[in-house]
Amino acid sequence: MQPTTVHWHGLRIANAMDGVPDLTQPPILPGETFTYAFTVPDAGTYWYHPHTQSSQQIGHGLYGPFIIEEANPPRVDRDVLWVMDDWRLTEEAAISPTFSHPHDLSHAGRLGNVATLNGRDSGEFPVRAGERVRLRLINAANARIFGLEFEGHRPLLIARDGQPIEAHNPVDPIVLGPGQRADLIVDMEGDPGETYPVIDSYYQRQTYKYLDLVYSTERPLRNSPPDATPALAPNPLPEPDLESARRHSVTIDGGAMGSLRSARYRGEDLTIRELAQQGKMWALNGVVAHSMAMEPLLNLELGRSHVLLFRNETAWPHPMHLHGHAFRILTRNGRREPYRPWADTVMLEPHEIAEVALVADNPGDWLLHCHVLEHHEAGMACVVRVA
Ligand code: C2O
Ligand code: CU
């Protein structure tokens, strides 16, 4: 029996409904109830999950997709969800009880040994030649980053983190860190009866086949893809004004092979050794999170535009997630980010720097944290106050 809450990941809803224990509501104790009621501002692909002991609770599969339909959805033959996860299973195929292991906390998080699609062995995805499919990808894994390549197909990326993006065929694998989503349009241009692998190539030298697109032997549904290029109407997001934006930075330190020597924890300066004894490994601007309710690390003036500069000074990738807002990714390592996508989570590769911009239009204390759940548990979080 554990307390829990529900966080509506990526939805720009009122702070009191955001589901962060001790910050936006008391935890819901076993046997208690809590009613969430909110208006959804944006269409798109989102998800929900608990925000208490999330490594364990999400790691046991406590989460679900949350789809908000467009007024005019693009015309497709099928609209399909791919909820991607990975699990650390024992030899008896039980969920391994090894949560909060110091190695996972300080390295890449709790990577699993079995990847699944919608909770099952990802093996095969049946398709028919000629059909146009909308795939809604959600990475619900604690720590695994997926980088998908569709052999023999040209997926069209139409949304990231629920927010429409200028439709394009990505040249690189489609990378999804934990918590991230992507909407793709895939025209099944392969031949009836054939099989085409979808490869996950994110981790170097650990490329594996995630699944096979398995074509039925039926005759093609059509001979060439529909000509209309599917496009999504934008959501009502306020456009940040970069000229007048206030600038803030968030520097990420710590972890194995990092250079962090000491950091502030509960108001005291502790050495990395002392922190590790408490299961803490990571700091944002030199501060290690001790709970969800903390003094804000950043104060954003309500109604103004802000630029956040993330610096990853660690040897590990981090998907950084801000609650209650969407931001535009402007640059990476000083280069303009193609398409400047809207997102609620920005992936930072080791030693990468990224700038994002937003209008702070949703008042309250919001969590900003790494969505590798073990990194969050080990201190990689802070509060952003919008007031
Ligand atoms: Cu999906 Cu605070 O996260
Ligand atoms: Cu992280």
CA distance 70 to 338: 25
Pocket, ligand 1, Cβ cutoff 6 A? 7, 9, 49, 51, 179, 321, 323, 367, 369, 371
User: Would you call 222 helix, strand, or coil by DSSP?
Assistant: coil
Non-local (6+) Cβ contacts of 313 within 8 A are 251, 252, 253, 258, 259, 351
In this prediction, residue 230 has a pLDDT band, given cuts at 50, 70 and 90, of confident
Q: How far is the CA of 136 from the centre of ligand 2 (A)?
A: 24
Look at ligand 1, atom 1, and give the residue with the nearest C-alpha: 9
How far apart CA 227 and CA 36 sit, in angstroms, is 42
CB atoms within 10 A of CB 326: 26
Q: Which ligand is nearest to the CA of 372?
A: 2
Q: Which two tokens stand for residue 85?
A: 């996860």
**How many whole angstroms separate alpha carbon 212 and alpha carbon 151?**
10
Separation of CA 48 and ligand 1 centre (Å): 8
Could you say which DSSP state residue 110 is in? -
- Cα R_g (the chain), whole angstroms: 21
- Look at residues 233, 240, 275 and name the one whose alpha carbon lies nearest to residue 254: 275
Ligand nearest, relative to CA of residue 318:
2
pLDDT digits over 260-297, tens only? 999 999 999 999 999 999 999 999 999 999 999 999 99
Q: Residues within 5 Å of ion ligand 2 by Cβ? A: 318, 370, 372, 375
Q: What is the pTM of this model?
A: 0.98
CA distance 105 to 117: 25
Mean of the per-residue pLDDT values of the chain: 97
Residue recorded with tokens 């989503």: 181
Q: pLDDT for 82-111, tens place per residue? A: 999 999 999 999 999 999 999 999 999 999
| Choice among 18-27, 119-128, 223-232, 304-313 with the minimum mean pLDDT | 223-232
Split at pLDDT 50, 70, 90, the class of 122 is confident
For 54-69, the pLDDT digits (tens) are: 999 999 999 999 999 9
pLDDT of residue 379: 98
d(CA 285, CA 312): 11
Q: What average pLDDT does range 236-246 have in this prediction?
A: 98
Distance 372 CA to ligand 1 centre (A): 10
Q: What confidence score (pLDDT) does residue 180 get? A: 98
Alpha carbon of 109 to ligand 2 centroid (Å): 8
Identify any residues that bridge with 75 across adjacent strands, giving them in sequence order: none
Give phi and psi for 195, each to the nearest 5. -130, 135
Q: Looking at the CA of residue 376, tell me the nearest atom of ligand 1.
A: 2
Ligand nearest to the CA of 253: 2
* Gap from CA of 373 to ligand 1 centroid (Å): 9
* Amino acid at the residue 87: W
How many residues in the chain?
387
